Amino acid sequence: MPSIRSLRLITGAVAIGAALLAGPVVAQTTLENASAKYRQDLAEGNPADLWVARGQEMWTQPRGPKKVSFESCDLGQGPGVVKGAYATLPRYFPDAGRVMDLETRLVWCMVNQQGYTHAEATKLTFGNGSRHRSDLEALTAYVAKESDGVKMNVSLADPHVKEMYDIGKKAFFYHAGTHDFACATCHASDDLRIRLQYLPNLTKPAGAQKAYTTWPAYRVAQGETRSFQWRLHDCFRQQRFPDLIYGSDLSIALTTYLAASANGAVYVGPGIKL
Amino acid sequence: MTTRSPVTTLVRGAVAGLAIAAALYGCASAPTAQDDAALTARTIAMMKASFRPKGQAGMDRLDQDETQRLCSQYAEGKLPESVVKKIEQENLAAVKYPADGTLVGDWKAGEKVAELGRGMQFSDDPKKPNGANCYACHQLSPKQEAYGTIGPSLYQFGKKRGYTDQTRTYAWAKVYDAEAFSACTNMPRFGQHHILTEQQIRDVVALLVDPASPVNQ
């Protein structure tokens, strides 16, 4: 199975690589068609499934100094329950006294239940190629997959969550840095493109829904399945901001704003993106 | 003296009614300016605790200048005319022109600057030259079809505006500090924020205004 997928992946990558290498004088439609075809090809076998399978395997394994599996980890639906959990996150966890997204909660379980130090648990948050895959990205892909087909339903009834939503929305419009960029610079209008890449308007339900419900996603250009924490982290890099700390309150605030903006839409991830 | 006149009672009742109405209005309507300022303060405090310096991107990148502060404050509503004026006047006053008066460089070098997306990210080598990545947002030379649409098309910029001193001066100032002409624009202030060198701005201006540039064909 993986070999067929890999083959398809390589074929697609070569096709796109060739299109890009053809130089600046590439008809836009050619490139867009190639991209569309590639996505269509991969839809039959999203490589993200490999991350999902690895995450699923890890979920039941005894882990860390305390040899405890994630079956004790409560994502808000009871210990070990993954079905539909991703579609309700972020949420407030009284045992931690914090609003948490999935990734922050996984780290919390690794530290508080499995006995890892925080540094150990967050040693490799984002994979950097086939030799160093991230456990967190695999676990995230698995838990997210268990919400495939479930409607997004992030409740703002808890005042802690509402506060994170409000701050996330404020931060979305915060202009700073050498380039004056805010999230809103690229993501507050319809049908804009950066180069040939279409940008979702995250201030409207349709845009937020389409974007949020397809993360985590397999990134073709990187050969990695990326989480929403990665998405935010890399957006801020391009915004010329400093380094967004994994699981920081701001990362959770922005996730809360965007996840709640996607409420009502059916979660269909992990997705696949160029 | 202890009995209230009917008029006093009526007035008191009306005042109480107004106070309740005001309180209810406060609950139901958009947050007050005071609430908004408090939320902004909490947001900034959270941001400062959520980033760490990396590479060339220090924590000072989170500090806003007056233009950034105002553009954030009014990002969700309409910019008041007075704020537009203030931003544009302050930025126009900050535009620096080259000492030798040469505004136009080499369009071929400008084309490279327009293509290059590198620069100022924590992942970028600060020893290498920055790009302007004009094509990320603008159409320029028709030969490059992978252009973005965040900004307007600049195809035939010089040809349409005329090859005049006025066009050249405007192009320089716009690249140097776009906020001088369009408050809260999406375009970075390439000169004001030292993203491009003086020579790089000359070269980008040439790409826009040189009659031989592919932009003007």
pLDDT digits (tens, 9 = 90+) for A147-167: 999 999 999 999 999 999 999
> Does the structure show a pLDDT above 80 at B17?
no
Catalytic annotation, residues of A:
235
Band of residue A43 on the pLDDT scale cut at 50, 70, 90: low
Task: Find the CB nearest A192 among B53, B57, B150.
Answer: B150
Residue linked to tokens 């924020």: B193
- Pick from A257, A266, A272: nearest CA to A202: A257
> pLDDT tens-digit profile of A98-122?
999 999 999 999 999 999 999 999 9
* CATH architecture group of domain B48-217: Orthogonal Bundle (1.10)
Asked if the C-beta of A198 comes within 8 angstroms of chain B's C-beta atoms, the answer is no
Is residue B183 within 8 A of residue B204, CB to CB? The reply is: no
- Lowest model confidence (mean pLDDT) among A138-142, B73-77, B170-174, B205-209: B73-77
Determine the pLDDT at residue B1. 36
Instruction: Tell me which residues of chain B, numbers 114 to 153, contact chain A at a CB-CB cutoff of 8 Å.
Output: 115, 120-123, 135-137, 143-150
* Cis-peptide, bond into residue B126, ω within 30° of zero: no
CA-CA distance, B37 to A19, in Å (whole number)? Answer: 49
Give the pLDDT mean for B127-136: 98
CA-CA distance, A249 to B50, in Å (whole number)? Answer: 6
Burial class of residue B78 (count of CB atoms within 10 Å of its CB; 0-12, 13-18, 19+) = exposed
Task: Find the CB nearest A195 among B52, B120, B136.
Answer: B136
Asked if the C-beta of A244 comes within 8 angstroms of chain B's C-beta atoms, the answer is yes
Task: Find the CB nearest A176 among B49, B64, B144.
Answer: B64
> pLDDT tens-digit profile of B149-197?
999 999 999 999 999 999 999 999 999 999 999 999 999 999 999 999 9
CA-CA distance, B216 to B9, in Å (whole number)? Answer: 79
Helix axes B198-209, B165-176, angle to 10 degrees: 130
Task: Name the residue of chain B whose CA is nearest to A169's CA.
Answer: B43
- The more confident residue out of A6 and B86 is B86
Determine the pLDDT at residue A165. 98
CA-CA distance, A259 to A246, in Å (whole number)? Answer: 17
> Does the structure show a pLDDT above 90 at A55?
yes
CA distance A196 to chain B (A): 6
- The more confident residue out of B77 and A175 is A175
Determine the pLDDT at residue A274. 86
CB contact under 8 A, B46 and A250: yes
DSSP letter (8 states) at residue A115: -
Instruction: Tell me which residues of chain A, numbers 154 to 193, contact chain B at a CB-CB cutoff of 8 Å.
Output: 163, 166-167, 170-171, 173-182, 184-186, 188-189, 191-193
Band of residue A42 on the pLDDT scale cut at 50, 70, 90: low
> Does the structure show a pLDDT above 60 at A81?
yes
Determine the pLDDT at residue A131. 76
